[in-house]
């Protein structure tokens, strides 16, 4: 019952209201002269320095769902769930130079979305539209999953109801407040709230990793308890505190594939483009792994939950368990009430920051690559900002509707698919930053084949409880190999995508099919803050090659 959790609820509500006020005040923080421009509303004036970018991108990438789902995975499967650590280590050296190029070319041309870049680079509105739609489709379930994170916390506090509406009312209110201040303050709201979110997360995790092992008999016995549990249960042969021969390939390809995908997500790119210069990005690539350390420790909360005998709360259907409640229940058992309230607020607020940035990113994609491209070509910057603000509201209503009216499992499936499909934009967006060798039609065909193959492979993956969409570990035996090893679907799909794109490119080049004009120059990829050749407002989308300037 919720009465037993009154202290937790009061602390949670207080902190939640505090950041809501901050969200509204954020409109005046580093206020621009004119908010009615997409650069201001959607990218915070492209002016964020090292610290703000660190909090913003950190708050954006390490979401509430991650904080709830990663320990849940470790709780259920063991070592496999720890993939999040190598994933968030290899990502930064991987994109260290790539993001600088993206920032430079976007800075000089005023690009707001990755699809803007693709359109200009490959002279192809169709390819840009595909990139934009892929981004929107991959982001939507991600926003819905942030709600799953909040719901896990609310459920643990006993805030539930009989009817679907009563159960979801707190989330609807929370998202209505979030929608209101995102509408008003744009990217400045999550940037400001991210400070509170991260401070809370760091405090909670530091306390958890120092305090809990002492109560549970030290780290050694925590790992031993986990190993004993995995040995005792025989239904999943691949669990355990170490990897085995079958899932090592999956572990490595999942870490690498997730790393390749992360900065293709529109919301990550929004955070990067909002930074002030190339130096800010490079310094952040060195500083952001601090969050990976926190994530690694959070993952281990899954083992602490095993050691303290946590039983997850029942799921929405009878007979199922909601694994996402593992960490909230652990906090409820082990922490004093008021501190559990702080921890829940950290997760709840942790959901707001990425949800705000994701809705802004999805709205920017719609505005720039669908509205301006196909509906109103002569839209003014003020109109663009307005359309984006309204779209961000629509996106949030859609996310809430997904959770209220559909099984949350649907959003989880979609998010799994999202990681695979966003990878299919890698050849156009990431490789496109380095080379224009690929033909635009080759990229489109490669995208289509990669999408189709990825969806088919995901459909084939079974889990102990489900026949299809049971995960992202594809058994290689399906391809006819005589092995029990599994591999991450996304890596296979993007490799085939690249191969097809290359073959079609060669064929089209042999047939001398027109390739369109490159709207960027090699020099664009190195421009920095204060560059004299930044293209102003209306000429931003000019496709014609510019005169070289000495």
Partner 1 sequence: MAAPEPEAPTTAPARAKDHSPWNWLLFIPIVVPLIPVFFNGDSPRVFGFPRFYWLQLAYILLGVSTTTLVYQMTKKRGDR
Which residues bind to partner 1, rule: CB under 8 A?
79, 82, 85-86, 89-90, 92-94, 96-97, 100, 213, 218-223, 241-243, 248, 251-252, 255-256, 279, 282-283, 285-287, 289, 292-293, 296, 300, 435-437, 518, 521-523, 525-526, 528, 530, 548-550
As measured in angstroms, the least distance from the Cβ of 485 to partner 1 is 12
Name every residue whose Cβ is closer than 8 Å to that of residue 424 and which is 6 or more positions away in sequence: 134, 446, 447, 450, 451, 454, 493, 494, 497
Enumerate the β-bridge partners of residue 474: 487
Radius of gyration of the chain (CA): 23
As measured in angstroms, the least distance from the Cβ of 245 to partner 1 is 10
SS3 291: helix
- Is residue 333 within 8 A of residue 128, CB to CB? The reply is no
As measured in angstroms, the least distance from the Cβ of 340 to partner 1 is 25
Q: Determine phi and psi for 155, rounding to 5 degrees.
A: -60, -45
In terms of DSSP H, where are the helices of 277-407? Answer: 278-287, 289-307, 326-334, 337-366, 381-405
Residue 442's Cα: distance from chain center in Å?
28
Enumerate the β-bridge partners of residue 473: 488
Concatenate the DSSP letters of all residues of 231-247 into one string.
HH--S-TT-BSS--TTT
279 or 541: whose CB is closer to partner 1? 279
As measured in angstroms, the least distance from the Cβ of 205 to partner 1 is 13
226 or 274: whose CB is closer to partner 1? 226
Closest CA to 75 of 314, 239, 254: 239
437 or 481: whose CB is closer to partner 1? 437
As measured in angstroms, the least distance from the Cβ of 93 to partner 1 is 4
Structure tokens at 162: 């009989």
54 or 344: whose CB is closer to partner 1? 54
- Is residue 432 within 8 A of residue 122, CB to CB? The reply is yes
As measured in angstroms, the least distance from the Cβ of 446 to partner 1 is 17
As measured in angstroms, the least distance from the Cβ of 49 to partner 1 is 15
SS3 314: strand
Structure tokens at 496: 């085939």
86 or 328: whose CB is closer to partner 1? 86
As measured in angstroms, the least distance from the Cβ of 506 to partner 1 is 10
Structure tokens at 504: 């079609």
224 or 413: whose CB is closer to partner 1? 224
138 or 306: whose CB is closer to partner 1? 306
413 or 531: whose CB is closer to partner 1? 531
As measured in angstroms, the least distance from the Cβ of 439 to partner 1 is 11
How far apart are the C-alpha atoms of 47 and 41, rounded to whole Å? 12
- Is residue 286 within 8 A of residue 92, CB to CB? The reply is yes
How far apart are the C-alpha atoms of 472 and 459, rounded to whole Å? 9
DSSP H or E segment with residue 220: helix 218-232
- Is residue 396 within 8 A of residue 143, CB to CB? The reply is yes
Neighbours of 523 (CB within 10 A): 15
36 or 209: whose CB is closer to partner 1? 209
Structure tokens at 543: 């496709």
As measured in angstroms, the least distance from the Cβ of 287 to partner 1 is 8
As measured in angstroms, the least distance from the Cβ of 290 to partner 1 is 8
As measured in angstroms, the least distance from the Cβ of 473 to partner 1 is 15
How far apart are the C-alpha atoms of 155 and 248, rounded to whole Å? 35
Neighbours of 272 (CB within 10 A): 24
Q: If you ran DSSP here, which 8-state letter would residue 378 be given? A: T
Burial class (CB in 10 A: 0-12, 13-18, 19+), 476: middle
Burial class (CB in 10 A: 0-12, 13-18, 19+), 549: exposed
7 or 521: whose CB is closer to partner 1? 521
195 or 223: whose CB is closer to partner 1? 223
Neighbours of 152 (CB within 10 A): 29
105 or 365: whose CB is closer to partner 1? 105
103 or 142: whose CB is closer to partner 1? 103
As measured in angstroms, the least distance from the Cβ of 481 to partner 1 is 19
| Cα torsion angle, 302, 454, 465, 143, sign | positive
């Amino acid at each position: 019952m919720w009465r037993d959790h009154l202290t937790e609820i009061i602390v949670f509500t207080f902190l939640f209201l505090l950041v809501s006020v901050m969200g509204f005040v954020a409109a005046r923080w580093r206020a621009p002269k004119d908010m009615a421009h997409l650069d201001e509303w959607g990218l915070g004036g492209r002016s964020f320095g090292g610290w703000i970018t660190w909090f913003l991108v950190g708050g954006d990438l390490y979401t509430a769902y991650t904080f709830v789902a990663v320990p849940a995975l470790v709780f259920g499967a063991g070592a496999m769930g720890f993939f999040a650590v190598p994933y968030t280590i290899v990502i930064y050296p991987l994109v260290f130079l790539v993001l600088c190029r993206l920032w430079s070319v976007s800075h000089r041309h005023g690009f707001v979305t990755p699809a803007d870049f693709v359109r200009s680079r490959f002279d192809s509105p169709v390819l840009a539209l595909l990139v934009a739609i892929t981004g929107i489709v991959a982001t939507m379930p991600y926003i819905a999953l942030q709600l799953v994170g909040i719901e896990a916390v609310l459920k643990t506090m006993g805030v539930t109801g009989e009817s679907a509406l009563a159960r979801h009312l707190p989330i609807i209110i929370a998202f209505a407040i979030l929608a209101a201040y995102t509408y008003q303050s744009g990217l400045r709201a999550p940037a400001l709230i991210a400070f509170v979110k991260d401070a809370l997360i760091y405090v909670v995790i530091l306390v958890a990793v120092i305090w809990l092992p002492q109560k549970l008999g030290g780290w050694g016995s925590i790992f031993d308890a986990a190993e004993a549990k995995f040995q005792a249960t025989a239904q999943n042969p691949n669990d355990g505190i170490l990897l085995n021969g079958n899932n090592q390939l999956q572990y490595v390809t999942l870490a690498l594939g997730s790393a390749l995908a992360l900065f293709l997500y529109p919301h990550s790119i929004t955070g990067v483009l909002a930074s002030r210069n190339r130096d800010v990005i490079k310094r952040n690539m060195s500083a952001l792994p601090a969050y990976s350390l926190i994530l690694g420790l959070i993952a281990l909360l899954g083992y602490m939950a095993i050691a303290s005998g946590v039983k997850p709360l029942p799921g929405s259907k009878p007979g199922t368990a909601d694994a996402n409640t593992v960490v909230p229940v652990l906090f409820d058992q082990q922490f004093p009430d008021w501190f559990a309230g702080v921890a829940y607020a950290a997760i709840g607020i942790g959901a707001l920051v990425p949800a705000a940035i994701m809705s802004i990113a999805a709205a920017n994609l719609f505005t720039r690559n669908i509205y301006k491209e196909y509906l109103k070509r002569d839209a003014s910057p003020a109109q663009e900002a307005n359309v984006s603000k309204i779209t961000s509201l629509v996106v949030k209503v859609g996310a809430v509707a997904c959770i209220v009216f559909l099984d949350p499992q649907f959003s989880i499936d979609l998010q799994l698919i999202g990681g695979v499909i966003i990878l299919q934009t890698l050849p156009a967006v990431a490789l496109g930053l380095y080379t224009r060798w690929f033909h635009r039609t080759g990229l489109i065909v490669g995208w289509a084949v990669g999408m189709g193959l990825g969806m088919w492979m995901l459909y084939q993956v079974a889990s102990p409880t489900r026949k299809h969409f049971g995960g992202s570990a594809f058994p290689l035996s399906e391809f006819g190999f005589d092995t029990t090893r599994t591999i991450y679907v996304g890596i296979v799909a993007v490799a085939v995508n690249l191969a097809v794109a290359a073959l079609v490119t060669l064929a089209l080049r042999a047939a001398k099919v027109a390739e369109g004009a490159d709207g960027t120059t090699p020099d664009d990829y190195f421009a920095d803050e204060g560059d004299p050749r930044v293209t102003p407002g209306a000429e931003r989308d000019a496709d014609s090659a510019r005169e070289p300037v000495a």
